[in-house]
Amino acid sequence: MVKHANMEYDKTKYKIWTWKHPAMLHWLINPGLAINELLIGQRIPKIILIEKDASKSLQEKTIIPCPHCGTLHSGLKWSINNNAFKNWFGLYCDNCGKIIPCLTNLTSWLLLGVTFPIWVWFKDKWKKNWLDIQPSRYENLDLENVPNPFDGYGWIKKGLYWSLFMFVFMTFLYPIIKGESITLKHAHIDIPVWIIGGLLFGYIMKLVNATNKPNAQMN
């Protein structure tokens, strides 16, 4: 057993991801993911448990523990088809009504710090309104029919979406954040680089989300 945040987890059953895991570190340091956090409310909990079950995809074996009540939530609650977005204040625990702590992207911290004098006056009201609508968001979740978005050629689609997002962010938005001028001087290089990077990202996610299904028995 290993203890995290006053909770104990069975290491023989779960892999434990904290901010030190490469995927979690990527969430922290990738500036483009600040858009995911601040605009669409996509969040990553501080602790993720991964079942050691090769017959399941990554999203199927992802478990999100609530440090307040000890409930082990299926990560499918926060899949694209369910509540992946609008989680600006964290992940809501529909068992105890409290918020599961999440990581915050470093660029998000920077942007929040710069704009603090603007949003600080409205934070409490926004949070209360957000909490009021959370129970209804968890009433009709579908945890059985959640497709793997990277199956088949889905990895290509997701990879190209990712590359487009990163190109737009790094070419147009990031210079604005840094106070620099926008230029397309290197677009002929950046576009193919991001496309290749996106396809690589998509294929890696396809491999990560793959399942090791047992072979069918021969008659």
Q: Where are the domains of the chain?
A: 2-147, 148-214
Mean pLDDT of 6-31: 87
* 192-205 pLDDT, tens digit each: 888 888 888 777 77
* 67-97 pLDDT, tens digit each: 999 999 999 999 888 999 999 999 999 999 9
The encoded tokens of residue 62 equal: 């992802």
- The winner for highest mean pLDDT among 6-20, 93-107, 192-206 is 93-107
Mean pLDDT of 3-17: 78
Do residues 82 and 142 touch, judged by C-beta distance below 8 A?
yes
Mean pLDDT of 98-117: 94
DSSP letters, 25-85, are HHHHH-TTHHHHHHTS----BS-EEEE--TTS-TTTSEEEE-TTT--EEEGGGGSTTTTSS
Is the pLDDT higher at 186 or at 40? 40
Residue 100 has pLDDT above 90, yes or no: yes
Give me the pLDDT at residue 171, please: 80
- Cβ neighbours of residue 54 under 8 Å, at least 6 residues apart? 211, 212
Q: Among 98-102, 132-136, 144-148, which stretch is predicted with the lowest mean pLDDT?
A: 144-148
Query: Which residues sit opposite 15 in a β-bridge?
Result: 50
C-alpha separations of 171 from 66, 111, 163, 180 in Å? 38, 18, 12, 11
Give me the pLDDT at residue 214, please: 42
Q: Among 31-45, 61-75, 154-168, which stretch is predicted with the lowest mean pLDDT?
A: 154-168
Look at residue 187 and give its three-state secondary structure. helix
Residue 167 has pLDDT above 90, yes or no: no
- Please state, in angstroms and rounded to a whole number, the distance separating the CA atoms of residues 136 and 41: 17
Mean pLDDT of 167-196: 78
**HSE-CB for 28 with a 13 A CA cutoff:** 12
The encoded tokens of residue 83 equal: 């509540």
Which residue carries 């199956």 as its tokens?
A: 151
Strand blocks (E) in the chain: 2-4, 7-9, 14-17, 48-51, 62-65, 72-74, 91-92, 99-100
Give me the pLDDT at residue 6, please: 60
- Please state, in angstroms and rounded to a whole number, the distance separating the CA atoms of residues 219 and 216: 9
